[in-house]
Amino acid sequence: MKSIMAHGAARPPSNFGAAPVLPAYRVGDLLHVWCRYCKRWHVHGGAAGGHRASHCTVDDSPFRQTGYTLEEISGVVLWVMAP
């Protein structure tokens, strides 16, 4: 999967090495990742995990600099986001 960098996004590729790996939970076509800084779920589209720009709304979140890499957790997760 091509990353957003192919479209001239804001961050240089060198920051990818600093991106943390976070567990991502699939609900339908969306991947949900818990953000410890925003204290909310960030929701990402896409068929698979991989590097994403963060959706952080907190100014001092380090994810705003590095993004993060989603590692999809499968098979255990439907209860997490159940209403």
Q: Which residues bind Zn ion (CB under 5 A)?
A: 35, 37-38, 56
Least Å distance between CB 54 and Zn ion?
Answer: 6
Cβ count near 18 (within 10 Å): 11
CA pair distance 42, 4, nearest whole angstrom: 17
CA pair distance 70, 83, nearest whole angstrom: 23
State which residue, 2 or 59, has the beta carbon closest to Zn ion: 59
Least Å distance between CB 56 and Zn ion?
Answer: 3
State which residue, 13 or 20, has the beta carbon closest to Zn ion: 20
State which residue, 43 or 78, has the beta carbon closest to Zn ion: 43
Least Å distance between CB 75 and Zn ion?
Answer: 25
